[in-house]
Structure 1
Amino acid sequence: HGTDNSATLDALARDPQRLRGVAVIPSGLPEAEIADMHRRGMRGCRMSTVVSGGASFDHLERLSAETFDLGWHLVLHFNRASELVDVAARLERIRSPFVLDHMARIGGAEGVESLPFKVLMSLLDTDRCYVKLASLYRLSALPYPHPDMMPMIERVVEARPDRVIWGSNWPHPICPVPIPNDGDLVDLIPLWLPDAQAQHLALVETPAALYGFDADVAA
């Protein structure tokens, strides 16, 4: 849909207490238009090098400035892990919180000694970096339960359990591997997040804060 957010806004209107959204917008929108999206449940904006027709990282600083006062976060969707290295210095300078979608696309074969992973770990020190554990089945070189991803997940969760969120990646768009069983993905949660506190942070507290849910909704 490119920068047409009407389908997402329509979905948000159906249950505004329970739903939040991430918009795809170009920089330069009128302030009132962004404020209206916020009123209707949007809480972030996404930039991607995977799909065309949306917002690229060329918009990073401007979108950060235009949405910061509303408390929005930026979602970064990389095509290659090396792109994280390319934009790291810029991420350190912006004020907005940002989510590295799909764990910045770092593959199991790259691992904890790779430059992209070292950059990811350094960005966690900014306090504004969040890592989404989602779509890791695409990044693994090994079959379920994808043990080659575990060393990276363990390091991230150990370092900053308060900066981890989880996603199923349903409905698994542009999927180059067999579509996973979503129940199997849910079964990975206690493997990736081995204690109740880490699970509550990733599944409840951190997304509730990031997406602006009220405390009673997050309880």
Structure 2
Amino acid sequence: MTDRKIKSCQPPVADTKTPNRELPKNACDAHCHVFGPSGVFPYHANRSYTPPDAPKEKLRKLHSTLGLERAVIVQATCYDDDNSAMLDAIAHANGRYKGVAMVADEITDKELLNLHDGGVRGARFSYARHLGSEPDFSKVIRLSEKFAPLGWHAVLYLEAQDIVDNVKALGSLPAPVVIDHMARVKVAEGVQQKSFQLLLDFVRNEDFWIKISCAERLSVTGAPFDDVVPFAQAVIEAAPDRILWGTDWPHPNIHGVMPNDGDLVNLLEKYAPNRTTREKILVDNPARLYGWNG
């Protein structure tokens, strides 16, 4: 293990609010995590943070309260490329959960196929600078060439400025791209900022998707996160057929007030007042990308 300090994360809110409005059938949480139990699924030695145990049973309880029937479990950096906890949760979900893995450069075609058979449909590249990482698009391209034949997509967790700095590389990826958390856009700089406008240009391309998640991380004003609404509305207007939404439960590395996931669901009505648009975001879009039928 390195000698750097490993941060501990606060737990999610236990008393989840029931949303104001019932969600449509087959609504999907397209970005959530499972952590632990650490005694069964230990965290990576060189992680930068230790999350609270948030196992599959708690995730299912959350989804039951919120009215979410499907979910995409996204691998987090605290596990690196050990996808065991995610695969276990998918295996116990009766087809309702899919996954996005983290994979190593040396992964074999057989190992990729095993992940695919386990419900994985994408690979995540976490380049969040606040977690001490910087983009490595040569790695993204190399691995995308390996998994593209399976129909997978690349999920990129990066910041808006990284899009400005890597326009050419982003445009040359051999697989569809999903951008996490609206690229952590700097809300205080407004929707006209160069990096956000470039992000909008990308998502107008049919190979680019974006998640309108993590208002609690992006907001400057705090709950109820109204300052994030214009950004979400802008990306929805740019590409309503390629928008995903997720809770980001259990919200690792949140500093300050932990959001209630019921409030995050309610925020969707501000993002997309039109019911048909909300159904696209919650049902149709994730079903198309992740291969659910019906």
Partner of residue 209, structure 1: 288
Partner of residue 76, structure 1: 156
Partner of residue 65, structure 1: 145
Secondary structure of 1:46 counterpart: strand
Residues 3-35 of structure 1: CA deviation (Å, up to 9, x unaligned): 111111111111241110010012231101101
Pairing 1:14–2:92 present: yes
Secondary structure of 1:188 counterpart: helix
Distance 1:161 1:170 in 2: 24
Point out where structure 2 has 5 or more consecutive residues left out of the alignment. Answer: 1-78
Q: TM-score, normalised by structure 1?
A: 0.91
Amino acid at match of 2:143: L
Higher helix share: 1
Residues 27-79 of structure 1: CA deviation (Å, up to 9, x unaligned): 231101101100110000100123479x954411012111111111111112x
Distance 1:119 1:24 in 2: 26
Pairing 1:197–2:276 present: yes
Pairing 1:111–2:190 present: yes
Once the two structures are TM-superposed, the CA of residue 212 in structure 1 deviates from its matched residue by: 1.5
**Worse overlay, 124-133 or 141-150:** 141-150
Query: Does the CA contact (< 8 Å) of 2:123 and 2:153 recur in 1?
Result: yes
Identity of aligned residues (%): 38
Secondary structure of 1:103 counterpart: helix
Amino acid at match of 1:37: L
1:168 equivalent among 247, 251, 256: 247
Secondary structure of 2:97 counterpart: coil
Pairing 1:183–2:183 present: no
Query: Does the CA contact (< 8 Å) of 1:21 and 1:44 recur in 2?
Result: yes
Query: Does the CA contact (< 8 Å) of 2:204 and 2:238 recur in 1?
Result: no
Cα RMSD of the aligned pairs, angstroms, is 1.7
Amino acid at match of 1:211: Y
Runs of 4+ residues deviating >3 angstroms: 55-58
Q: TM-score, normalised by structure 2?
A: 0.69
Point out where structure 1 has 5 or more consecutive residues left out of the alignment. Answer: none
Amino acid at match of 1:2: D
Partner of residue 213, structure 2: 134
Partner of residue 27, structure 1: 105
Q: For this pair of structures, how many residues does the alignment match?
A: 213
Partner of residue 4, structure 1: 82
1:97 equivalent among 168, 176, 186: 176
Distance 2:157 2:80 in 1: 14
Amino acid at match of 2:181: H
Distance 1:4 1:52 in 2: 20
Amino acid at match of 2:147: T
Distance 2:189 2:167 in 1: 18
Distance 1:16 1:46 in 2: 23
Pairing 1:151–2:251 present: no
Secondary structure of 1:109 counterpart: helix
Q: Give the 5 Å matches for 1:37-52.
A: 37-50=115-128, 51=131
Amino acid at match of 1:6: S
Partner of residue 165, structure 2: 86
Amino acid at match of 1:107: K
